[in-house]
Amino acid sequence: SRAGLFPPLRDMTVRMIQRGEHPILPPFEDVTLGPGDVIIVAATRQTLTEALKSGSRIFEGMLEERFAEGVEAGNGPAKPGGELILAEAVVAPGSRMIGQTIEQISFRHHTGCIVLGIQRRSRMIRTLLNDIRLEAGDVLLILGKGNQVQDLRNNRDVLLLEWSATELPDPKLAHRALAIFGIMVATVLGGILPIEVAAVAAAGAIIATGVLNVRQAARAVDRRIFLMVGAMLGVAAALEATGGANAIANASVALFSGYSVAVVLSAFFFTVAVTTNVLTNNATAVLFTPIAISTATQLGVDPFIFVYAVIFAANCSFATPMGYQTNLLVMGPGHYEFRDFVRAGSPLVILLWLAYSFFAPWYYGL
């Protein structure tokens, strides 16, 4: 290197060089690259594309090794010839890849594509690629043949940022789904079936009529939400059983003693809105519902007034990345930082809080 720069890696920032078991960190004064060195670089997609098109020798070893592995496994071409495409994909919130490394999920074996880099929350990672455990919202820089990259459109574990156009669903299937949903609602409103029985029956009918297959239906279920909501139900039940909900309600009422119900409702809405950006909307709704009922009972008003406040406030989850799944999903591709969500989301939360604080008392006659 010259003054810590590597001429073959033009417009790229070298973050680390792994030489055997010994990492070399910057500054790279008088460091000479040798065969077998693993280089971790930070670069734009355009820079990498130009390096690949120019036939830069720095990539030859990696590409030959990765694509050779594909031949042994029965995937991929024998050499990195042909039309290779660079694409970006985001790890989906419900992906099976979360918590695992690229090597553990055998990404190349299953897709025929190789992962060149990972970006997490707009920050480059200074770690060996195969040692990084994936998180929801990670952006993967993927290299593969055109048809292999296009096939990622049907992969539910990642969301392709390009080649993501999909065919329109069959209208007949849409009509079937709508009919099944209508029948489910009618049976529940008519008191024919309990809602849980009707929902399970509708799900079975969706599969039986071919709208979805079993695998598609199973993939649509985020098991973590069930675990989280189940755990929060336990917490909510404990609050009720131990009198914790009443204690919190009494403290809230005492804190705002002398104020009108409208003021208490406004403060309660604001508290839930702040909490939902730290937890998730599902967990917040389950946690605050018993507190809402107890608070309304203490004030002598209809409990539904405070329960509705929970429903609206729990969905004000756009002031932090962890508030809602889609927030995290767009964080990497959009190159957003935590403060961007706070800056854009906080005014929206305050606006909705003020709107509810003025509208709800008028609507409920408080």
103 and 209 part of one domain: no
SS3 232: helix
Q: Which are the contacts of 87, defined by CB distance < 8 A and separation ≥ 6? A: 141, 142, 143, 144, 149, 152, 160, 161, 162, 163
pLDDT profile of the chain (366 residues), mean per 10: 55 69 69 70 68 60 52 42 69 80 81 78 64 81 76 78 52 79 87 84 86 72 62 65 67 72 88 83 80 83 87 86 70 73 88 91 84
246 and 341 part of one domain: yes
Q: Which are the contacts of 258, defined by CB distance < 8 A and separation ≥ 6? A: none
60 and 143 part of one domain: yes
- Is residue 24, in this structure, part of any structural domain at all? no
Query: Is the alpha carbon torsion for 13, 130, 83, 85 positive or negative?
Result: negative
- Is residue 28, in this structure, part of any structural domain at all? no
326 and 262 part of one domain: yes
- Is residue 272, in this structure, part of any structural domain at all? yes
83 and 197 part of one domain: no
- Is residue 21, in this structure, part of any structural domain at all? no
CB 115 within 8 A of CB 141: yes
Give the CATH number, domain containing residue 125. Answer: 3.30.70.1450
Tally Cβ neighbours within 10 Å of residue 48.
Answer: 20
290 and 260 part of one domain: yes
63 and 111 part of one domain: yes
Q: Which of 160, 182, 203 is the last residue of a domain?
A: 160
* DSSP strand pairing (22-24 vs 13-19): antiparallel
145 and 215 part of one domain: no
- Is residue 129, in this structure, part of any structural domain at all? yes
244 and 356 part of one domain: yes
pLDDT of res. 302: 86
338 and 251 part of one domain: yes
| Burial environment of residue 268 by CB neighbours within 10 A (0 to 12, 13 to 18, 19 or more) | buried
- Is residue 302, in this structure, part of any structural domain at all? yes
- Is residue 27, in this structure, part of any structural domain at all? no
Task: Locate all alpha helices (DSSP H) within the chain, ordered by sequence.
Answer: 45-53, 60-72, 102-105, 107-111, 146-151, 171-189, 195-208, 214-219, 223-241, 244-255, 261-276, 281-299, 303-314, 325-331, 338-364
142 and 190 part of one domain: no
pLDDT of res. 355: 92
Tell me how far apart the alpha carbons of residues 267 and 300 are, in angstroms, rounded to a whole number.
17
Tally Cβ neighbours within 10 Å of residue 41.
Answer: 20
**What domain range is 198 assigned to?**
171-219
Look up the pTM and report it.
Answer: 0.50
Q: Which two tokens stand for residue 206?
A: 């969706």
- Is residue 227, in this structure, part of any structural domain at all? no
User: What's at 246, amino acid-wise?
Assistant: N
147 and 202 part of one domain: no
Total domains in the fold of the chain: 3
Q: Which of 160, 184, 207 is the last residue of a domain?
A: 160
